[in-house]
C-alpha cells in the first residue's frame, strides 16, 4: 500500500504519490524559494506604498494617491526601492517556510501515529507551519529590516542600493538593532500569518475536493488541480492579511526615526489598535490575496513539474 514504508509500517512520508525523501524535501525548498522570491519582488510598488501608508498615514491616505505621491516626489524608480533585499529575503523565507513545512508535517504526523494524525490533521497543519516559520523568519529578518528602512526613509537619508544599504544597516546596528532587532515583531506577524495561510489553504483545498470536485483528486487534470490551488491560496491570503495586519503595521513603524528605541507595546499604544488594524489594510488584502494565490500556484506548478503532485486534498 502507498502509505506503508518499506518496513511495512504506516509512515506519513509515503502517503503521497511519491515518497517524501531528501530529494522531495529539497525540491519543495526550491519551489518555495521560487514562489516567494519572485512574487514578493513583483509587488514591490504595492509594498513601498503600503509601508509608507502605515508609517506616514497623514501623507499617504490611499493606494492610488500614495503611488502618485511617491512618483511625483521621487520618480517612478522609487516604487522599486528595496526590491533587492525583498527578493533575496523572501526567497530564503520561502525556502524554509515551504520546505520545512513538508518536513514538520510529516514528522508530527508520524509522532501522532496513523489514527491521531487523521483525526487531528488541522492541528498538524498549524504546528507544522508555525515550526517552519520560526526558522524562515530568522533567515528573513535582516533583509526585511533593510527593506523597510530603504522604503520608509526620507529620500537622501539612507542608501537605496542593496549592498550599500546592508553596510549602512550594519554600521548603524546600535540604532537599527540590525540584524535581528525586528525578529520578535516579525514572528508575531509571520507566524500567525503562516499558520492561517497553510491551515486555510489545506482546509479550502479539502472543501473543493469534497464538495465541488468529488471524484478522486488524481483523476483531475493538472489545470484543474492548479486552479483549485490558486483559488484556495487567494482565499487563504485574504484571511492572512486581516490576521497579521496589526503586527505588520508595528514592524513598519519600527523603522520610523521617532520610534527608535521604543518598546513594541509603546508603539502600539501610541498608534492605537484601530489604526494598526486598518491603515493600509485594503492595500494589504489586495497584495496578500494575490501574492498568496500566486505563491501556492507557483509552488504547486513546480511540484507538478517535478512529478511530486499538488498540495492538499484527499
pLDDT digits (tens, 9 = 90+) for 7-25: 789 999 998 889 999 999 9
Tens of pLDDT, residue by residue over 83-119, are 999 999 999 999 999 999 999 999 999 999 999 999 9
Residue 242 lies in a domain: yes
Average pLDDT, the chain: 90
Tens of pLDDT, residue by residue over 253-312, are 776 677 666 766 777 777 777 777 777 788 778 878 888 999 999 999 999 999 999 999
Residue 14 lies in a domain: no
Residue 223 lies in a domain: yes
Say how many residues make up the chain: 314
In angstroms, the Cα distances linking 87 to 159, 226, 280 are 17, 24, 22
- Residue 235 near residue 203, CB atoms below 8 Å: no
Q: What is the pLDDT averaged over residues 218-247? A: 90
Amino acid 278: pLDDT? 74
Burial pattern 139-150, b for ≥16 Cβ within 10 A else e, equals bbbbbbbbbbbb
- 7's CB contacts (< 8 A; 6+ apart) are none
What gap in Å lies between CA 90 and CA 77, rounded to an integer? Answer: 21
DSSP annotation of 16: S
Percent of the chain with pLDDT over 90: 66
Residue 175 lies in a domain: yes
Domain encompassing residue 29: 20-305
Return the CATH number at 170.
1.50.40.10
Match 514572528 to its residue by C-alpha cell.
187
**Can you read off the three cell numbers belonging to residue 224?**
484543474
Q: What are phi and psi of 235, to 5 degrees?
A: -60, -45
Residue 111 lies in a domain: yes
- Residue 228 near residue 304, CB atoms below 8 Å: no
Amino acid 314: pLDDT? 64
- Residue 234 near residue 290, CB atoms below 8 Å: yes
Residue 12 lies in a domain: no
Residue 286 lies in a domain: yes
What gap in Å lies between CA 226 and CA 208, rounded to an integer? Answer: 12
Percent of the chain with pLDDT over 70: 96
Domain count across the chain: 1
Residue 78 lies in a domain: yes
Amino acid at each position: 500500500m502507498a502509505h506503508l514504508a518499506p518496513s511495512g509500517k504506516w509512515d506519513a512520508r509515503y502517503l503521497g504519490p511519491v515518497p517524501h525523501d531528501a530529494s522531495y524535501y529539497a525540491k519543495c525548498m526550491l519551489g518555495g524559494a521560487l514562489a516567494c522570491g519572485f512574487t514578493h519582488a513583483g509587488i514591490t510598488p504595492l509594498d513601498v506604498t503600503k509601508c509608507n501608508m502605515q508609517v506616514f498615514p497623514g501623507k499617504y491616505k490611499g493606494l492610488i494617491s500614495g503611488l502618485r505621491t511617491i512618483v511625483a516626489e521621487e520618480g517612478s524608480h522609487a516604487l522599486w526601492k528595496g526590491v533587492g533585499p525583498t527578493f533575496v529575503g523572501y526567497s530564503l523565507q520561502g525556502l524554509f517556510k515551504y520546505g520545512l513545512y513538508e518536513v514538520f508535517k510529516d514528522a508530527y504526523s508520524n509522532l501522532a501515529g496513523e489514527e491521531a494524525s487523521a483525526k487531528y490533521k488541522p492541528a498538524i497543519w498549524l504546528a507544522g507551519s508555525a515550526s517552519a516559520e520560526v526558522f524562515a523568519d530568522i533567515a528573513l529578518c535582516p533583509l526585511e529590516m533593510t527593506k523597510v528602512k530603504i522604503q520608509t526613509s526620507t529620500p537622501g537619508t539612507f542608501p537605496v542600493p542593496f549592498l550599500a544599504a546592508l553596510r549602512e544597516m550594519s554600521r548603524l546596528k546600535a540604532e537599527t538593532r540590525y540584524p535581528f532587532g525586528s525578529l520578535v515583531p516579525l514572528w508575531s506577524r509571520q507566524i500567525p500569518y503562516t499558520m492561517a495561510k497553510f491551515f486555510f489553504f489545506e482546509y479550502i483545498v479539502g472543501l473543493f475536493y469534497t464538495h465541488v470536485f468529488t471524484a478522486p483528486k488524481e483523476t483531475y487534470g493538472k489545470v484543474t488541480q492548479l486552479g483549485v490551488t490558486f483559488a484556495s491560496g487567494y482565499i487563504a491570503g485574504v484571511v492572512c492579511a486581516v490576521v497579521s495586519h496589526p503586527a505588520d503595521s508595528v514592524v513598519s513603524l519600527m523603522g520610523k526615526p521617532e520610534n527608535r528605541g521604543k518598546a513594541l507595546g509603546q508603539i502600539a499604544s501610541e498608534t492605537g489598535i484601530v489604526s494598526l488594524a486598518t491603515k493600509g489594510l485594503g492595500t494589504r488584502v489586495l497584495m496578500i490575496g494575490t501574492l498568496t494565490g500566486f505563491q501556492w500556484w507557483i509552488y504547486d506548478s513546480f511540484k507538478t513539474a517535478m512529478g511530486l503532485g499538488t498540495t492538499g486534498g484527499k
